[in-house]
Amino acid sequence: MCTVSWQHLPDGGYELFVNRDEQRTRAIAFGPRVFLRDGVRYIAPLDAEAGGTWLAVNEYGISFTVLNGNKAPRTGMFRSRGSVIPELASAASVAEAALRILALDIAEVQPFTLAVVGPGRGSLLAEWDGAQRRLSAATESSLPLTSSSLDAKRARAKRRLLYRQYGSGADFHRSHGTVADAFSPCMHRDDAVTVSFSSVRVRDGEVRFCYQPGPPCAPHGPAETVSLAIRERVADNEGILCYPSLC
């Protein structure tokens, strides 16, 4: 359960915003830290139970965030959706991430929606319904991305209405509308709540990840911020295919 939005900036950078919703009984996640994958550094918080992550940004300025799919979960034993992002985290472009997604073995992963956002205007949506994966370029009409285990259609309707009022940014992600409930961007219900708000900014040669534990309407403690310098991408002649709509 999550709400995701982003905005591309005139200078080629972007800002990405993520609310993470979880059961109140779930262990508190670890804040963002720097990891290394295939020689590439990336910043991510860490789920304290499954060990994966719902959000990461690497030193190329490529961000990855995953939401639960809006199809019913399959029965049986499956690996965490949060295990998918570390397998992609060293991609040097949105296009490279797309190729990696197509090659991933996700048969034992529950349905999900994955967004990949990069500098420029490149952004990608990957959807896995448990049987097929679909990739498409993300557009303004895609936003906000939402998921809800209670009523996905009702949550999307309310959050889209508030998104039209506020646009992408912290004000939208902390909003409730007329009442704080299970369908608000800042979600509140008896058994679950928005447990953190994260923002990623990529611009001016820097990647900055800001993590605020607790619901954004009433955060728990100070925000944590981790930064990396942007690393120049290796030329495409080293095997990275670059599609104009995704680079």
What is the CATH classification number for the domain harbouring 171? 3.60.60.10
User: The tokens of 154 are what?
Assistant: 């009702």
Asked if residues 38 and 76 have their Cβ atoms less than 8 Å apart, the reply is no
- Of the candidates 121, 128, 4, the one whose C-alpha atom is nearest the C-alpha of residue 65 is 4
Residue 247 falls within a domain, yes or no?
A: no
d(CA 13, CA 79): 33
Residue 78 falls within a domain, yes or no?
A: yes
Residue 77 falls within a domain, yes or no?
A: yes
CA distances from 210 to 16, 94, 103, 213, 219 (A): 10, 22, 31, 10, 13
Instruction: Give the model's pLDDT for residue 238.
Output: 38
Residue 246 falls within a domain, yes or no?
A: no
Query: How far is CA 84 from its chain centroid?
Result: 12
d(CA 151, CA 159): 12
Number of domains observed in the structure of the chain: 1
In which order are the strands placed within the sheet that holds 224-229? 145-146, 2-8, 14-23, 192-203, 206-213, 224-229
Residue 243 falls within a domain, yes or no?
A: no
Residue 173 falls within a domain, yes or no?
A: yes
* Burial classification of residue 24, based on how many CB atoms lie within 10 Å of its CB (0-12 exposed, 13-18 middle, 19 or more buried): exposed
Instruction: Give the model's pLDDT for residue 143.
Output: 96
Residue 170 falls within a domain, yes or no?
A: yes
Residue 189 falls within a domain, yes or no?
A: yes
Question: Is pLDDT larger for residue 234 or for residue 204?
Answer: 204
Q: What would the pLDDT profile of 167-210 be if each residue is shown by its tens digit?
A: 999 999 999 999 999 999 999 999 999 999 999 999 999 999 99
Domain range for 103 is: 2-238
Q: What would the pLDDT profile of 145-169 be if each residue is shown by its tens digit?
A: 999 988 999 999 999 999 999 999 9
Enumerate the β-bridge partners of residue 56: 64
Q: Where do we find the tokens 């939005």?
A: 5
